[in-house]
């Protein structure tokens, strides 16, 4: 009887050891898995933000301002053309030292944005990848004043963690996922960084993405 009880106790202890070991491994792997999932999602979000930036820059070149309206931006991209400019010698300059810009044709804005991507759809530019309810990027546009008189057009497109990290990754409970997302948000806010991804700025004349700036720090 005692021998049987000893076997049972050993089995229980072994099970406890296995469970504790599994918990330790899980606690080590969980932050790595979360970071990998976050990185994978952010790669696609960044691609979308770069498309927004490229579209906004082309829009500004044509209209001398940025737009905060996605429908106007999308329509512009679908219909507008941009000049193809070549730098050539000024034919009126006998010294052959001056040059002029000569428009040699036009290209569609869509061709410039699309590049070699066959699955590119300009209508999707406003939607955040991995957002559960087709949430859109926050988009602002306006001007800032420099030297008290010079008006400079600016824009900013952004999305917080809560949108593209809303749904749990594989292997995470909703509670655990939300806790890790909140921890990541707190880390950013503790160093006065935006907890999410954004491109452009409403405070300075910049079209940089915050993922590019943070790499430089």
Express each pLDDT in 130-140 by its tens digit: 999 999 999 99
Confidence band of 19 (pLDDT split at 50, 70, 90):
low
C-alpha span between 184 and 78 (Å, rounded): 38
Residue with more model confidence, 7 or 24: 7
For residue 12, is pLDDT > 90? no
DSSP state of 92: T
Confidence of residue 205 (pLDDT cuts 50, 70, 90): very high
Mean pLDDT of 42-64: 96
Within 10 Å of residue 55's Cβ, how many Cβ atoms?
24
The whole-number average pLDDT for the span 19-30 is: 60
CA dihedral 141, 146, 151, 152 (to 10 degrees): -50
Q: To the nearest whole number, what is the mean pLDDT of the chain? A: 86
| Least confident segment among 41-55, 79-93, 120-134, 155-169 | 79-93
Closest CA to 155 of 145, 137, 144, 141: 141
* Structure-model confidence comparison of residues 26 and 121, the more confident one: 121
Q: Is the pLDDT of residue 77 over 90?
A: yes
CA distance 34 to 49: 22
The mean pLDDT value for 162-173 works out to 94
> Is-contact 137 128, C-beta < 8 A?
yes
pLDDT at 186: 96
Full residue range of the structural domain in which residue 208 is found: 2-216
Q: How confident is the model at residue 217 (pLDDT cuts 50, 70, 90)?
A: very low
Q: Number of folded domains in the chain?
A: 1
In terms of C-beta density within 10 A (0-12 exposed, 13-18 middle, 19 or more buried), how is residue 88 classed?
A: exposed
pLDDT for res 75:
96
Dihedral sign computed on CA atoms, order 34, 37, 39, 42: negative
């Amino acid at each position: 009887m005692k021998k049987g009880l000893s076997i049972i106790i050993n089995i229980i202890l072994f099970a406890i050891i296995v469970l504790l070991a599994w918990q330790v491994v899980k606690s080590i792997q969980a932050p790595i898995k979360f970071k990998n999932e976050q990185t994978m999602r952010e790669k696609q979000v960044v691609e979308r933000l770069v498309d927004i930036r490229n579209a906004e820059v082309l829009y500004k070149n044509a209209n001398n301002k940025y737009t905060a309206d996605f429908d106007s931006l999308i329509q512009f991209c679908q219909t507008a053309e941009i000049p193809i400019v070549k730098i050539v010698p000024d034919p009126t300059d006998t010294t052959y030292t001056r040059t002029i810009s000569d428009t040699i044709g036009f290209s569609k804005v869509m061709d410039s944005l699309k590049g070699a991507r066959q699955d590119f759809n300009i209508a999707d530019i406003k939607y955040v990848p991995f957002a559960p309810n087709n949430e859109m990027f926050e988009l602002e546009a306006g001007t800032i004043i420099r030297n008290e008189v010079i008006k400079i057009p600016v824009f900013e497109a952004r999305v917080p963690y809560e949108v593209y990290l809303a749904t749990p990754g594989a292997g995470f409970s909703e509670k655990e996922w939300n806790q890790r997302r909140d921890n990541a948000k707190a880390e950013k806010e503790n160093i006065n960084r935006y907890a999410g991804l954004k491109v452009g700025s409403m405070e300075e004349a910049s079209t940089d993405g915050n993922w590019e700036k943070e790499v430089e720090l």
